[in-house]
Each structure stands twice: as structure tokens, then as C-alpha cells.
A and B are shown apart, each in its own frame.
Chain A
């Protein structure tokens, strides 16, 4: 919970500073590249954790197929349900 609050806090602080125009323009201009660098570093570390966890590697052979099926159905169910709810109750506005 504390990490969720920390992340939320940083997001709000970053957003507030940027909204007020208090972020240096050089940093602001590079924000896309910085986001990508962080993202790839995080994905690499995430991959490392999966590779380091023997339990996961062994389990992949045993129940990997079930996990893939569960993942497919939970993702499909979520996308479908959001799509249906938007259709009946949501208002669509996706103009860029």
C-alpha cells in the first residue's frame, strides 16, 4: 500500500510541476526518451526475476499451458466487458 501511495505521489508531483511549467525545458523535451529508458530497464529487471526464480522455471513446464489459457481468458474477458460497458453506459471521446 505504501508503494502505491509513493507512486501516486510521484505521479502527482511530476504532473503538478510540469502543469505549472516548473520543469526545465531540456528535461521536458527529453521526457519521452527517459520514459522509454526506464521502461526497458524495468522490463529487463522483470525478465531477470523470472529467469532467476527456479520455481517459475520448473512450473513453466508443468502448468504453463493452464497459465497461458487463464491469461488469454482473463484478458479477453476484461476487454470484452469494458467494450460492452462502454457501448451501453459510456460516452466515447477519443479524439487526439
Chain B
């Protein structure tokens, strides 16, 4: 499964290299339509589980605890590695605040520094690829809920079906709410680190 997923991205990358740039805008529409369909199907999948309301109630404090853990861990990780690489704390914090949402975080950072913007873009693209590859492994060896952590903000869309397939309905619900909370944090946290 993981190899197929990575292959799909690589084949897409090779095709994209030869496709004219004018097609770029169309990919926005394709992504939106694809995500709409996907989330509708994921909803159907979750709704098949008749215990869904009970599961949400049972999530309880995990509803806030998981996004908090993902955000704090992501920031500490970014600031830590940034220190070793010689980046200022605020720049590393901004990159860590991207939470895997590479388009938005790099756009917010662009006016501050184009180099940092590209670094944020790449970091979060790579984070998403890592998440895709690691979710099945973390779900199997560490725990279902921990498998949400690598995804960050993408836990509610692109990586949700992978989490859903590798864990259970309850974790999929928690994954969506985690992604939702983190997605709302990205446009707040990234500028907070860079602009005074």
C-alpha cells in the first residue's frame, strides 16, 4: 500500500514535469473536486459505524489533547533541529507551525523571506510524504492515536483515508477533528512567529 502511494506521487511528479504550466490552475480544481468526493466517501464509511455518536462522546479530552500534542511536538522538533542547523527560533517556529499544510504555510511566509517560504513548502511536502509512509507502521507498532500525529493538519483530508484504513472508526473521527483544529491553528501560529 505504502509503495503504491509513493509511486502514485512519483509518477505524478514525472508527468507534472512535462505538463505545461498552464495546467497548474486546473490541478487546483481537480484537487478540490477530488477532496470533496473523498470526504463524502469517508463520511459514508464513518457513518456505517452505528456507534459513531457514542465514539465522539468517548473521545472526550482526546479531542483537545491530540492536536495540542501534535502542535507542541511539531514546534519543539522544528526549533530543536533549527538550532542545530543555525536557524533563528522564530523562523523554525514558523516552519513547525505549518503542520504539513505546505501551500498555506509557504504562502504566509513568502512576504517575510522567499528562501524560508521554499523551506517551509518542502518541509511540509516531505512531512506529508513521511506521514503517508509512516501511518501504517505507527498504527501497527506504536498505537492508533499516535498514527494521527505525523499528518498534522492533513489528518482531516489527504491522509485521513490512510488513517481510516489502518486504524478504526473512532481514530478516524479523532483524526478529522485533530486536522480541523490544527488547520485553524496554521494561519494563526505561522504569522505569530514571524510578524510582530
* A, B co-complexed: yes
Enumerate chain A interface residues (CB-CB to B < 8 A).
Answer: 3-4, 6-8, 10-20, 23, 27-28, 31-32, 34-36, 38-53, 55-57, 59-60, 62-64, 66-86, 89-94, 96
Contact B142 A83 (CB under 8 A): yes
A selection of 14 A-B contacts at a CB cut-off of 8 Å is A15-B46, A31-B41, A45-B34, A47-B8, A47-B9, A66-B119, A67-B123, A67-B125, A70-B96, A73-B81, A74-B127, A78-B77, A82-B146, A82-B148
A80 CB → nearest B CB, Å: 6
**Given known A-B contacts A4-B180, A56-B118, A75 and B34 have beta carbons under 8 A apart:** no
Contact B142 A35 (CB under 8 A): no
Contact A77 B12 (CB under 8 A): no
B131 CB → nearest A CB, Å: 7
Contact B126 A18 (CB under 8 A): no
Contact of A70 among B45, B78, B149, B176 (CB under 8 A): B78
B148 to chain A: which residues have CB within 8 Å? 82
A81 to chain B: which residues have CB within 8 Å? 69-70, 72-73, 76, 149
B150 to chain A: which residues have CB within 8 Å? 75, 78-79
Enumerate chain B interface residues (CB-CB to A < 8 A).
Answer: 4-5, 8-19, 21, 23-24, 27, 30-32, 34-48, 50, 52, 58, 60-62, 65-66, 68-70, 72-78, 80-82, 85, 92, 95-96, 115, 118-119, 121-128, 130-132, 134, 138, 142-146, 148-150, 152, 156-158, 161-162, 164-165, 167-168, 170-171, 176, 180, 183-184
